[in-house]
Amino acid sequence: MKSDMNQPRPSLLGVLVIGAALCVALAGLGSFLTSVYAASNTVHEISGTVEALNLADDPAVIVVRGQRGGNDETVVGAVLKQGTTILRGKKRIGLDHIRAGDKVTVKYIKTRDGLTVRSIVLHRN
């Protein structure tokens, strides 16, 4: 029985501090995962002018200057991956039909790797 009394007991303050640190860490991880999940499922849209299109990059990159949401002008650069939908009106076209200066509407998503194009609609000039 004497050996039980010699065992060190953790202090209540130490246990509370460690417990609080774990709660903060888990809450932070949860909010990080929630933001990644929400960001990857939200589709954003910009309508404007193609500033640049680099087909030499793998994957290709498009840069569009225009309006996103309200009246704020913004520039969006996003990668084009295989299977990206590209339309002129309702007709599917190839990426080689798009040039700098063209008017487009681009839908894109945010991923861990950056912005990725979901679709491009080329407006008739």
CATH code for position 107: 2.40.50.140
Which tokens hold the place of 30?
């949860």
Taking alpha carbons only, the member of 80, 91, 76 closest to residue 119 is: 80
Q: 25 and 56 in one domain?
A: no
28 and 85 part of one domain:
no
Give residue 95's domain range.
44-122
Structure confidence at residue 102 (pLDDT)? 95
Regarding pTM above 0.85, the answer is no
For the stretch 10-63, pLDDT in tens is 566 555 666 655 555 555 555 455 444 444 578 999 999 999 998 888 889 999
Please indicate, yes or no, whether residues 53 and 16 belong to a single structural domain of this protein. no
DSSP tag of 123: P
In this structure, the answer to whether residues 18 and 68 fall within a common structural domain is: no
Predicted confidence at residue 125, as pLDDT, reads 61
Taking only the tens place, the pLDDT of each residue in 50-103 is 999 988 888 899 999 997 666 778 999 999 988 899 999 889 999 889 999 999
